[in-house]
Amino acid sequence: MYLYKISILYFYHLIVSNNAVSREIIQIQMVFRHGERSPTKLYPTDPYNNFSWPDGLGYLTNKGKLEMYNLGKQIRLKYESFIPKYYSPLDVEVKSSYSDRCLMSAQLFTSGLFTPVGDQIWNPDLLWQPIPIHYKPRNEDNMIASKQNCTKYDQVYKDLINSSKFKKILNDNRKLLDYLTNHTGMSIDTLREAEELYNTLEIEQSHNLSLPEWTKNIFPISMEPLAALSLASFTETDYMKKVKAGPLLKKILNNMKQKSSIGIVPKLLIYSGHDLTLVNILRALGFSEQIKPSFGAYIIFELLNGTSIDVNIIYNLHGEEKEFTLKECNFPCSLQNFEKVIQPLLPGNWIEECQL
């Protein structure tokens, strides 16, 4: 597992060896979590079982829609000198999870990023333009949603959950799990079930819905570590990181290599995913803390051209941008060294590596 260090990012033309080095951005790849959604699952004693979520369960809320539109505006402002004003399919590629909330988030993000100007305004009453969003069906996606079947991984995950380590985690939290079970009217006996309940309570609270009295002493402080541990469990081992994070990291690396050599790939590549998409990547890169990314959280990979072709990684999990630096590849991290660091995480033939 790779160690890391973080520092608040104040600027992008960084200082190296006490000398300011101008670094031109030549490519940006951004992975983000979708905007705020309604709960995907309610519990039997939930006082808001009859609450009307406008689009139903699991869909973006109006707050989430505005959140993603504003994120597009924010990234436009942040990289104003790099991102062209005019949208062109030669410059931009957008990929998404199959999930409707991710597809909608991608559309909202790009509408904020590329408000039509000049001759791209096709309707003066609607300052919006269609930008294609590419995705694969759920059972074919091993890169963003990571739902494609992998038999060997499933067995490894099953063994992990049944291991003495994870049984001890559940036993250590038995009092909390029993408490949740007694008050929700449903069995809360796994990390995943605790995470789903945490998500529901978090969303209801953000909509100014008063949570039941029984939640006061355990939410969010006692429950958040379990929710974060649930997300982290999917990339517990090196093999699991390779299966879950490897395909997307491999795509990101190949885009960088092509851009730095023949330059025919887009300069801006967007990936609209889930909280688990971000957690998988960060843990594969060495982020050892257990994390629960907020809605609209993101990771940005910048490809820079200075004295060498370098890679810079920025992440924002809870409203604050920070710089991510691999211990094995301190900035300036050359593309060549970056490839060496992540090479063990990249699958050769993903299908073969999923066979028992």
The confidence band for 262, taking pLDDT boundaries of 50, 70 and 90, is confident
- pLDDT for the residue numbered 2: 37
Residue 29 neighbours by CB distance under 10 Å: 23
Name the band, by pLDDT with cuts 50, 70 and 90, for residue 21. low
Provide mean pLDDT across the span 31-58.
Answer: 96
**pLDDT of 7 over the 60 cut:** no
Which tens digits make up the pLDDT trace of 61-105?
999 999 999 999 999 999 999 999 999 999 999 999 999 999 999
pLDDT of residue 331: 81
Residues 128, 253, single domain; the answer is yes
pLDDT at 11 over 70: no
In our burial notation (b when 16+ CB lie closer than 10 A, e otherwise), range 217-247 reads: ebbeebbbbbbbbbbbbbbbeeebbbbbbbb
Mean pLDDT of the region 190-211: 97
Query: What is the β-pairing status of strands 92-96 and 268-273?
Result: parallel
- Please report where in the chains the tokens 């994870």 appear, as a residue: 166
pLDDT band for 8, please (50, 70, 90 cuts). Answer: very low
**350's tokens:** 């993903």
Q: What would the pLDDT profile of 264-321 be if each residue is shown by its tens digit?
A: 899 999 999 999 999 999 999 998 888 999 999 999 999 999 889 999 999 999 999 9
Residue 27 and residue 50 in one domain: yes
- Tell me: do 101 and 31 sit in the same domain: yes
Q: Are 293 and 287 within 8 A, CB to CB?
A: no
DSSP β-ladder status, 333-334 and 268-273: unpaired
pLDDT of residue 20: 53
Q: Find the helix or strand (DSSP H, E) in which 63 lies.
A: helix 62-78
* Non-local CB neighbours of 163 within 8 Å, separated by 6+ positions: none
Across the range 18-42, mean pLDDT stands at 88
Residues 78 and 163 in one domain: no
pTM here is 0.92
Domain-terminating residue out of 232, 248, 263: 232
Opening angle at CA 116, ends 114 and 118, nearest 5 = 135
CB atoms within 10 A of CB 67: 20
Integer Cα distance of 108 and 95 in angstroms: 13
Q: Looking at the structure, tell me whether residues 193 and 288 fall in a common domain.
A: no
Domain edge (last residue) among 232, 255, 288 = 232
- The CATH number that applies at residue 312 is 3.40.50.1240
Q: Which domain holds residue 73?
A: 4-148+235-353
pLDDT tens-place string over residues 111-138:
999 999 999 999 999 999 999 999 999 9
- Does residue 144 share a domain with residue 172? no
Look-up: residue for tokens 């039941």?
212
The DSSP line for 206-220 is: HTTPPPPGGGTTTTT
| Claim to verify: residue 57 and residue 132 sit in the same structural domain | yes
Q: Which of 182, 200, 232 is the last residue of a domain?
A: 232
10, pLDDT greater than 70: no
Q: Residue 188: exposed, middle, or buried by beta-carbon count in 10 A (0-12, 13-18, 19+)?
A: buried
Res 327: pLDDT? 83
Provide the residue type at 305 as one letter: N
Residues making up the chain, counted from first to last: 356
Taking the CA atoms of the chain, what radius of gyration do you get in angstroms? 21
Q: Report CA torsion sign: 268, 269, 272, 274.
A: negative
Structure tokens at 286: 């060495």
Q: Total structural domains in the chain? A: 2
Number of H helices, E strands in the chain: 12, 11
Considering the domain architecture, whether residues 294 and 248 belong to the same structural domain is answered as yes
Q: Is there a single domain that holds both residue 9 and residue 118?
A: yes
Q: Are residues 68 and 217 in the same domain?
A: no
Residues 218 and 101 in one domain: no
| DSSP code at position 293 | P
d(Cα 348, Cα 294) in Å, to the nearest integer? 32
Residues 225 and 246 in one domain: no
